[in-house]
Structure 1
């Protein structure tokens, strides 16, 4: 048994001053068979601690159906950290941001009528209490004072940027302590006075989140945390990307200099990220600060370990800095080898997004939201008959929606006529005269930051044509894994427009792969039934990472669900990732 406490100036491990040198790994963004590899490399960079968020919506996507197995086995992840002789920091939120969909909050929670998010509102607190108790059943027995390795637990996450409800924070502390958490409790906020003041409590230890101007920001933190160790709980060593943007990187030497300044000041640190991983499936978040910006599939983050878990220039630069302040293992981590280069011909099987109405949602007055349908996937199809009177003897009429969330493909009598894009603030489109309207709507990622958490997805009513309300909708939720499975055995079909593509790639052994998506427009990719994520020609990302554990020696199936038009009926696996142009 050991003790871990907060002293007047330092963290104290068994009563002795101790500096935390930590790195962030999100177990839910890494294939479970690769957890041990990433953790081991964290130790080899010189870290003594691994930090992780807990994503509530990964563990409980459906209310009451808690899952802590497989990808969600937080206990196994913490045990692997312990097996490397490292401590762990757990940040369960309940809100985590993390560029993760809905900031980690389940859709069933945020769509509850009348709920008050991230404050002392009864419905919200009842659900949060249940969630935290589940998490702490895993964490409590793994605390350092019980023979485990967990040394810190965080309350909420950057709360000062959202609210200042002290009653809410006190309730989270009460639930945490009642669940048997005895290690020190922390909060984190950007080093802005209002955020540091509103985002914590006197009994909680304040830490900061920043990636530059370390000395200045530590001074600000010290003004609000007069005693105890200084800590940057999120040392931003890179940044995330969004569709239509660039690939963000930071200079390795400049980042290392800032890390050096932190450590020279005696501060503890958690590097965000050590290894970012991937927003597999449709788990990416989004931001909306006047313009909607969905996050890309890769969460490489320009971290010291790249998306495939190999050392970068930044890894070596950080390792050299850490060696000035702590013992660093002699063993090093190699850069990534070239992945197999393979071209695979694909067979088109035609439109994969057709289907009937979802049960209970035929002939409804207004288009139901994704939440009304109970649908957690990214696609819903809406159909309605067009009233002839709406055209008023004209050849066209204007379709208007209150809001498109987030991208809508519009077809009349089966013929594409245009798109409505939330990012471009498009809400109206001229429709040619016809008899039937189809809207295919994509949720491109749920906002993970600020006050747009939990907003409904779909075609937001009212919907009008020629000024007349359109009523009598049918809605069908589209299950992407099922569509991919059907494509494996489907007969060949049209390659024009929206189509599924399938092929087979033969490997000598299971291997990390990089799938080049530059020959396709927009859609989703699967390997052996595993949902790799989204691709989009708007970039910056041009490859999808295929983790070795989802491949096998012999024949591997690839399925692409193209939404617009595949120019190249070939799956090209390339030697290295291509995450897009960088800002010079």
Structure 2
């Protein structure tokens, strides 16, 4: 406490200046932004960033402004966000900056709300996001090596960053906008140490028009490998003021300013593991300490939101395990998945308030948004998945998702073999979850998480149809295995040690242009099903679909993919934003893989994110 008192007194005069300017709405005229040996400087005055990480694709576009208003109510003055390459270039040379991908509109909304922006457009983002943000098709470029000077990678990376620069360079603070700084690469020191590669990053950013203050970010132990001389190094994951300052000075010519680029108030979840939470009081006191010391931070995450569709990533630090992340990105963050203040929000707000100049106060905290319970939804006409298969692609050996030019979703692999025997079915390098059927009857499940790749099966006499429905559960987003991210049956299928050949592949990406739900026939027993229903609402509000009685699959509401559900937990509900519901008729579609007999869908007015069911498949 003696140490804290001294530091607080020493910084009291500076803190008043640091916290005053950012709460004001930025003028339309140009601002100057830079730094001296200790502080960031906005228009020549000391400026302390209290930044909130919010990811635009994890929030409905219609809700961006509400989340930003909540940030301001907690005392936030800056928004941090990644830019996601695989969203903006889902197929090679086909760019998309529309709708929820309109990153320029996100930045502009922040400016309208009086918030500055820290931009993180690295080609690699990690972020518990599919392939760490890389588009799947990079793996089809023979010899391409991500995060390196390899020419093909640099060529594709440059096209991407030039497209991003075209969208966002007009919003740099030097051009009258609100983007203060831009981060190159992302925690590169945890992956490599090639300074020439980092220098290529810097040059491409400048060429793309992102020619403002650039910085690097790395965990404390990796700063030496990940910083680029001449740029400001920032540190992730620590908040001891003296340690932060010592580390930054070591690699920045003995100078500041001091920036914790990722300050973690909690953590994320993956399937089959307990929901992660941290004590709010402990972290509020740490926030108080770091702010009192004049250090700028970016809170990762202030608001996580939801990883929609199939865009979750996976942990896999070595080849020994695989842990796909859940769809909820609640993160135990100060702002919950629906955008409401939590007790952690209020404690953090108090910590920020304590560091404001005398007489200055924060906006009132908006009331929680109303939540509703939907009427029970009944499904009456399930569609068997095998009745709506597209035209297959034939091959001798199984084809990967990448070879099929399919990014996400499912592939049904079908082969016909001579029966009348029993033995072990083995799939070499199954990626990631497979359901095995013999003549249309489910006989078992294989799960990469559990290192299950083999199944004892009985083939009846005659010509037998074997189907293996494979789900891409999310590509690895961190670590040394980014280049080992192909999906599907990535090697071969063996029966009694002999390879099965002669395959048909049915692509089932289940994107917004591929959702067949027309009933063609009643499903067979244990056949995965698609079910559609219409329900009516007199009033709308946030709600949470209760999936505890279901097995495994996905849900769409009015065409919006809500994410995955899986009874193993810890996530047992799917958040439905009020922005995606409407008065009158609404449509829901469920893809259920394991419990096709389920016919009722209920909802709750609060989420269930901490319920494990280890006996489930």
SS of aligned partner of 1:451: coil
| Alignment partners' CA distance in 2, 1:537 and 1:71 | 29
1:340 aligned partner: 373
RMSD of aligned alpha carbons:
2.0
Closer, same or farther: CA 489–408 of 1 in aligned 2, 3 Å: closer
1:413 aligned partner: 439
Structure 1 window deviating more from structure 2 (310-319 vs 209-218): it is: 209-218
1:471 aligned partner: 501
Of 421, 445, 453, 1:427 maps to 453
1:30 aligned partner: 59
Deviations 1:491-525 (A, max 9, x none): 76567542222322221133222111001000111
Closer, same or farther: CA 433–340 of 1 in aligned 2, 3 Å: closer
In the TM superposition, residue 481 of structure 1 has moved relative to its aligned partner by 4.5
Closer, same or farther: CA 356–506 of 1 in aligned 2, 3 Å: closer
Closer, same or farther: CA 490–457 of 1 in aligned 2, 3 Å: same
In the TM superposition, residue 17 of structure 1 has moved relative to its aligned partner by 1.2
Q: Is the 8 A contact 1:207 1:233 kept in 2?
A: yes
| Alignment partners' CA distance in 1, 2:245 and 2:310 | 37
| Alignment partners' CA distance in 2, 1:385 and 1:489 | 26
The TM-score with structure 2 as length reference comes to 0.89
1:461 aligned partner: 491
Closer, same or farther: CA 342–213 of 1 in aligned 2, 3 Å: farther
1:196 aligned partner: 223
In the TM superposition, residue 252 of structure 1 has moved relative to its aligned partner by 1.2
Structure 1 window deviating more from structure 2 (254-263 vs 487-496): it is: 487-496
In the TM superposition, residue 21 of structure 1 has moved relative to its aligned partner by 0.8
2:425 aligned partner: 399
In the TM superposition, residue 568 of structure 1 has moved relative to its aligned partner by 4.2
Of 380, 391, 404, 2:411 maps to 380
Of 331, 337, 343, 1:307 maps to 337
Whether 1:325 aligns to 2:352 is no
Whether 1:205 aligns to 2:238 is no
In the TM superposition, residue 41 of structure 1 has moved relative to its aligned partner by 1.2
Q: Is the 8 A contact 1:543 1:578 kept in 2?
A: yes
**Residue correspondence of structure 1 range 475-554 to structure 2 within 5 A:** 475-481=505-511, 485-487=515-517, 496-554=526-584
The count of aligned residue pairs is 573
Of 106, 129, 136, 1:77 maps to 106
| Alignment partners' CA distance in 2, 1:400 and 1:489 | 34
Of 166, 175, 179, 1:150 maps to 179
Q: Is the 8 A contact 1:338 1:575 kept in 2?
A: yes
Of 573, 577, 582, 2:603 maps to 573
Q: Is the 8 A contact 2:117 2:180 kept in 1?
A: yes
The TM-score with structure 1 as length reference comes to 0.94
In the TM superposition, residue 526 of structure 1 has moved relative to its aligned partner by 1.0
Q: Is the 8 A contact 2:189 2:227 kept in 1?
A: yes
Q: Is the 8 A contact 2:83 2:121 kept in 1?
A: yes
SS of aligned partner of 1:373: coil
| Alignment partners' CA distance in 2, 1:349 and 1:419 | 22
Closer, same or farther: CA 344–94 of 1 in aligned 2, 3 Å: same
In the TM superposition, residue 200 of structure 1 has moved relative to its aligned partner by 1.4
1:262 aligned partner: 290
1:224 aligned partner: 251
2:615 aligned partner: none
| Alignment partners' CA distance in 2, 1:537 and 1:58 | 28
| Alignment partners' CA distance in 2, 1:492 and 1:71 | 37
**Residue correspondence of structure 1 range 49-198 to structure 2 within 5 A:** 49-192=78-221, 195-198=222-225
In the TM superposition, residue 3 of structure 1 has moved relative to its aligned partner by 0.8
| Alignment partners' CA distance in 1, 2:118 and 2:263 | 15
In the TM superposition, residue 43 of structure 1 has moved relative to its aligned partner by 1.2
Q: Is the 8 A contact 2:542 2:605 kept in 1?
A: no
